[in-house]
């Protein structure tokens, strides 16, 4: 993402948090950035396009931090606690962004915004599922979807409380508190042999495919972003990059993927300025697994 795009996003966040999305005009955003209205449209074709970029920017930025945090040598529980702390720290560091989402009726409901929201929610839920299975194993397996919703609900209430009251808490302490709550819930459900109230299939029907033991959700979301960007290219160029992406995805699904093919396909994608940043992010995420 270009620096000017980041500047516009940061300015828009502050205005949306203060006035609401609907009440903020493109002209006001341009004035805040000290650029002309015409210059704004060079970077974003509409206010809704800005909102979509904003949602993707903040959540992908957060998940990049979660995925790349050093957890080697940690137990699954310690790794999850570190990742939750980073997640909470990122949210609390961008309180204006959270305020925008908390404003009732502030964000527009369009198909594009809804699909973006589904992608983000699916990534978050899959992150929790993978961590829960690594920590609790078979004990948590029947309840993964339900546990995800409970974790999200607990986290949201704690975070909203901290934002609304201005109370300062170390993210690591909050993460530790949430994990203790998860312990209580998992053990209670398993000891009573509860029937899950929400199944994984039901959650998948709302947010897209979720699976016990699915690969890293951020990598999947980057693939989706790359395909969306490729779809805006001219046909001959789009065909070439689609082929590279298809080969890369197919290679990753093999039992013994070849690092040389993965590296080569990512290098092909990085030849495009439009795809280079996402391709580099994907390379960074895949290097520990495949290359």
DSSP assignment letter at 216: P
| 211-254: pLDDT as tens digits | 665 555 567 778 888 988 998 898 888 999 999 999 998 887 77
Most confident of 105-114, 127-136, 178-187: 178-187
CA of residue 5 relative to chain centroid, distance:
19
Residue 260 to residues 189, 249, 289, 291, Cα–Cα distance (Å) = 46, 14, 13, 8
Residues 145, 199: Cα–Cα separation, whole Å: 6
Q: Domain 48-207 belongs to what topology?
A: Tetracycline Repressor; domain 2 (1.10.357)
Q: How many alpha carbons fall within 13 Å on the CB side of residue 264?
A: 10
Q: What are phi and psi of 255, to 5 degrees?
A: -65, -35
Threshold 0.85, pTM exceeds: no
DSSP assignment letter at 143: G
Neighbour count for residue 45 (Cβ, 10 Å) = 10
| 135-153: pLDDT as tens digits | 999 999 999 999 999 999 9
| 200-214: pLDDT as tens digits | 888 888 877 676 655
Residue 46 to residues 33, 38, 42, 171, 270, Cα–Cα distance (Å) = 16, 11, 10, 36, 27
DSSP assignment letter at 23: T
Whether the CB-CB separation of 282 and 224 falls below 8 Å is answered with no
Q: Where in the chain is the domain with CATH 1.10.357.10?
A: 48-207
Give 205: exposed, middle or buried? Use CB within 10 Å, 0-12, 13-18, 19+. exposed
Residue 243 to residues 238, 246, 250, Cα–Cα distance (Å) = 9, 5, 11
Residues 249, 223: Cα–Cα separation, whole Å: 8
């Amino acid at each position: 993402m270009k620096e000017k795009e980041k500047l516009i996003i940061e300015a828009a966040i502050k205005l949306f948090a203060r006035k609401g999305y609907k009440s903020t005009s493109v002209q006001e955003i341009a004035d805040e950035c000290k650029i002309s209205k015409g210059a704004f449209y060079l970077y974003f074709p509409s206010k809704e396009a800005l909102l979509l970029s904003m949602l993707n920017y903040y959540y992908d930025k957060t998940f990049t931090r979660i995925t790349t945090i050093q957890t080697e040598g940690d137990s699954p529980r310690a790794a999850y606690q570190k990742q939750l702390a980073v997640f909470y720290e990122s949210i609390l560091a961008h309180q204006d962004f959270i305020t925008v989402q908390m404003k009732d009726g502030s964000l527009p409901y369009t198909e594009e915004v809804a699909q973006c929201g589904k992608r983000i929610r699916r990534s978050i839920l899959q992150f929790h599922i993978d961590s829960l299975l690594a920590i609790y194993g078979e004990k948590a397996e029947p309840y993964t979807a339900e546990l995800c919703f409970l974790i999200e609900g607990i986290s949201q209430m704690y975070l909203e409380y901290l934002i609304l009251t201005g109370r300062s808490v170390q993210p690591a302490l909050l993460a530790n508190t949430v994990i203790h709550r998860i312990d209580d819930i998992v053990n209670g459900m398993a000891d009573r042999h509860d029937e899950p109230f929400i199944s994984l299939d039901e959650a998948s029907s709302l947010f897209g495919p979720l699976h016990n033991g699915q690969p890293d959700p951020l990598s999947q979301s980057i693939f989706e972003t790359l395909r969306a960007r490729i779809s805006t290219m001219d046909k001959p160029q789009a065909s070439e990059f689609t082929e590279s992406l298809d080969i890369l995805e197919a290679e990753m699904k093999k039992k013994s993927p070849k690092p040389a093919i993965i590296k080569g396909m990512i290098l092909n994608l990085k030849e495009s300025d439009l795809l280079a940043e996402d391709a580099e992010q994907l390379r960074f995420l895949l290097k520990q697994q495949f290359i």
